A and B are shown apart, each in its own frame.
Chain A
Amino acid sequence: MNQAVQAAAPAAKRKPKETGVPDNKKYLHPTLLKNYGNWKYHDRPRPGVLHHVAHGGDEVWSVRAGTARQMDVYTIRKLCDIADNFAEGRVRFTIRSNIEFIVSDEKKVAPLIAELETSGFPVGGTGNSVTMIAHTQGWLHCDIPGTDASGVVKSLMDELYDEFRREEMPNRVHLSTSCCEINCGGQADIAIIVQHTKPPVINHDLVANVCERPTVVARCPVAAIRPAMVNGKPSLEIDEAKCMCCGACYPPCPPMQINDPEYSKLAIWVGGKNSNARGKPTFMKMVASGLPNNAPRWPEVADAVKNILHVYKEDARPWERIADWIDRIGWPRFFEKTGLPFTKYLIDDWRGSRANLNASTHIRF
């Protein structure tokens, strides 16, 4: 047989089974399946536990525990062992990477909680707690990160451990972190987001080979990038007076390095709320910037977040999310109470920004 022909023949390739989103029915706890769409109410017997009652009288308890989100298989198997030995073999994950163990017998709740906490999984994150931080990939896996994600979260959750396990906040507090301004971490009551402070540094030797130049030019929100010949090579140049250092050019053109160990800072945003409860959903607002990207534990960021949380906890009324609280006390008092400096950079000048200016005499003195 002709070896060369054999080598060139394509190996039989398995065609994917294009099955899409799987049905969740086979994974549901049997009591959830039985009462699907027929629940009457719920309460929270203690932090970390939800108790749901169906119209027919069936009850389930869901015990919620925090995870690192990025988990090794040993940890996942340990969670499975706990689910098999102390719960009923069915779990689910929340949008914030907490795991929930569902049991149909109240007697199982206390031993399950004890086993989780002994094994290092904090029980909490329900109701008016500070729940787990929605986060991104960071240095572990992202191709454009200004900072890490899992490390920031680990550092901060160590400090907020008690607030995760208690329900002592005025209302729930959602946190997020994002390792670039694209903000994959999303909107939150308090968000930590990279804020670059210098224009990208361009490696002109690489641009022509790596970047589709018109795409990069089109990507800039302020039209600060234009094609140019640099050292005889086709490249790109930046109008540094126009550039607001967002980093949008970096993903389509990695030679436009935006990340800098010193000049990529961290900013704090507050008051994002996706729920329609009370007021309409709100976007978060920047209230602080210039915090150092101080790996491995980011103490300045932790202090800033804890300070805002502390003031909110002392000052807000029951059911006020951070956005509701600031609506009541006003921005001047927010900055006064938190001690955060209100700088000119916090006055919006992007499109639609006049709607964010105070066009009234409504001022609290």
Chain B
Amino acid sequence: MAKKMHDTPNLDQLEPGPWPSFVTGLKDLAKDKNYVVDLLGQLEESYKTRKGYWKGGTVGVFGYGGGVIPRFTELKNEDGTAKFPDAAEFHTLRVMPPPGMHYDTATLRQFCDIWENHGSGLIAFHGQSGDIMFQGATTDNVQKAFDEINEMGFDLGGAGPAVRTSMSCVGAARCEQSCYDEAQTHRAVLNTFLDDIHRPSLPYKFKFKFSGCPNDCMNSVQRADMAVIGTWRDNIRTDEALAKKWFVKHGMDELVNDVVARCPTKTFQVKELKKIKSGEHISSVAVNDTHGIEINNQDCVRCMHCINVMTGALATGTDKGATVLVGGKSHLKIGGLMGTVVLPFIKLDTEENVEKLVDFAERTIEFFAENALEHERTGEMIERIGLANFLDAMEVDVDPAMVSSPRMNPYVRTDGWEDEVAKINAKKQAA
């Protein structure tokens, strides 16, 4: 039995209602833990005053420089003692989950036992960077909890100016739209940078994210410094039985209005069967005895829409790989930036090919470490120096797939033009 609960009239209002309540969860923990009684006391105070009361500090585990988010209370009595002394320290351990966030119940139960023993008993599945967040431990208990979690085969994630914990989608484990082995690639890349994850020393954070197809379920383009997004080069595959089954259920109106009309390049057409073309770049499939679909894959931008709507009837091609985009980030400091295409297509089907991505990632981070200003993300660095300079340093050839359009202003010195053309021609001849 823990000490008496503080009155929490504000938090009490977050218990009713059908959605699971974190307040009810905290109150259950508070029955046995003074720690959580006082946590609720401080949180109630925040609800009353609409202010936060945690400050950072320096807490870590032996051997690492990051991965623990220290929190000390700032809610003090006049004599400087903590108003809620049992929750005066409330540190979080960031722990990297398996790719795709798969678990067996034995593992989850073991996490619970460790955290009930050494921490608050509150665990978040998962934080926005993808960590399991073991929330709330005293300074003394951080090391004990980490040692036991680490013995289970789990390791701390990133915090501060470091390579951060990554995320990958469910991917090949359960999704037909997967274009590479997301989990294997995720591990191959991240586990190359363990030193940069555990010992923060970069100009600022660096995030990788791995999505298996252009649906980008990991939201990588808007928030990853390096987004690895699955795609394919050959033709969309078709399955006549599933196409006909889809058509029976959905009909011509939906095929025309939901698929044809929504194809961004209008390469998806519905035609009478006898008018459907054949050819190296054409995918086609009958939807009934008179009509069928024709897709010219050279005009397809691999947006996924028709495949999403007609799953199974249409599918990604088999010459799969990924597009790599660099420089995505949120607002601070210069405004939100999407990642931009740096590698239009790479194969990731063999360990050697994955190793090429790892090598590219290593060179990118090396360049970032040497050239970014303090607190500058890759996207901001590239905006400052220009994409062409970044590509030059990365030894990546320019490609029109990297731009929305060529330059719209004449403010560029082009006296190296002939040399560049000669280089491109020489490369073409050598190929």
Chain A residues with a Cβ under 8 A of chain B: 13-24, 26-29, 32-33, 36-37, 39-43, 52-53, 60, 62, 66-77, 79-80, 83-84, 89-95, 97, 99, 102, 120-122, 134-148, 150-151, 154-155, 157-158, 161, 181-187, 215, 218-219, 221, 246, 248, 254, 259, 261, 264, 272, 274-279, 281, 283, 293, 295-297, 317-319, 350-352
Contact = CB atoms under 8 A, between A and B. Distances in A.
A73 B115 contact: yes
Contact of B174 (A39, A89, A185, A293): A39
B100 interface: yes
A278 B303 contact: yes
Given A90-B105, A151-B14, A154-B22, 11 more contacts: A21-B98, A62-B174, A72-B29, A72-B121, A76-B109, A93-B125, A246-B332, A261-B50, A274-B222, A276-B301, A295-B50
B429 interface: no
B13 A297 contact: yes
Contacts of A17: 150-151, 155
Contact of A186 (B99, B128, B136): B128
Contacts of B63: 13, 15-16, 18
Interface in B1-56: 10-11, 13-14, 16-23, 25-26, 28-29, 43, 46-47, 49-56
Contact of A80 (B105, B156, B257, B309): B105
Contact of B154 (A22, A37, A62, A186): A22
B43 A139 contact: yes
A280 to B, nearest CB: 8
Interface string B304-321: 110011011101000000
B413 interface: no
Given A141-B135, A143-B56, A92 B102 contact: yes
Interface stretch (B187-195, B276-284, B353-361, B419-427): B187-195
Nearest to B47: A295
B100 A141 contact: no
Contacts of A148: 46-47
A14 B62 CA distance: 7
B302 A276 contact: yes
A192 B309 CA distance: 29
Contacts of B123: 70-71, 73, 76
B176 A139 contact: no
B262 interface: yes
B272 interface: no
B194 to A, nearest CB: 5
B155 A19 contact: yes
Contacts of A144: 52
B125 A143 contact: no
A71 to B, nearest CB: 6
Contacts of B397: none
Given A139-B43, A151-B47, A279-B264, A24 B183 contact: yes
Contacts of A140: 43, 135
Given A14-B147, A277-B214, A68 B25 contact: yes
A50 to B, nearest CB: 8
The residue in B56, B102, B313, B335 that gathers the most chain A C-beta atoms within 10 A of its C-beta is B102
A60 B309 CA distance: 20
Contacts of B71: 141, 143
Given A18-B194, A68-B25, A283-B222, A23 B98 contact: yes
Interface of B: 10-11, 13-14, 16-23, 25-26, 28-29, 43, 46-47, 49-56, 61-64, 69, 71, 90, 92, 96-105, 107-109, 111-113, 115-116, 121-128, 135-136, 143, 146-147, 150-151, 153-156, 166-167, 169-170, 172-176, 178, 181, 183, 186-187, 190-191, 194, 197-198, 214-223, 229, 239, 242, 254, 257-258, 262, 264, 301-305, 308-309, 311-313, 315, 330-336, 338, 374-375
Contact of B14 (A73, A275, A296): A296
Given A20-B190, A27-B98, A41-B311, A73 B52 contact: no
A264 B333 CA distance: 20
A41 B18 CA distance: 33
A71 B155 contact: no
A215 B304 CA distance: 44
A182 B331 contact: yes
A189 to B, nearest CB: 12
Nearest to B155: A19
B122 A70 contact: yes
B174 A60 contact: yes
A68 B105 contact: no
A21 B96 contact: yes
The residue in B108, B156, B178, B301 that gathers the most chain A C-beta atoms within 10 A of its C-beta is B108
A70 B99 contact: no
B22 A90 contact: no
Given A18-B155, A20-B191, A77-B112, A277 B215 contact: yes
Given A40-B312, A351-B334, A91 B105 contact: yes
A45 to B, nearest CB: 13
Nearest to A119: B20
A170 B56 CA distance: 43
10 contacts: A19-B154, A76-B108, A91-B103, A141-B69, A143-B52, A145-B52, A218-B375, A219-B375, A277-B308, A319-B262
B330 A182 contact: yes
Contacts of B334: 221, 351
B102 A67 contact: no
The residue in A185, A274, A318 that gathers the most chain B C-beta atoms within 10 A of its C-beta is A274
B405 to A, nearest CB: 12
Contacts of B151: 17
Contacts of A42: 175-176, 311-312
A295 B223 CA distance: 29
B71 to A, nearest CB: 6
A41 B430 CA distance: 42
Nearest to B31: A74
Given A71-B22, A293-B50, A141 B90 contact: yes
Nearest to A140: B43
Given A72-B121, A144-B52, A154-B23, A13 B214 contact: no
B49 A281 contact: no
A141 B223 CA distance: 22
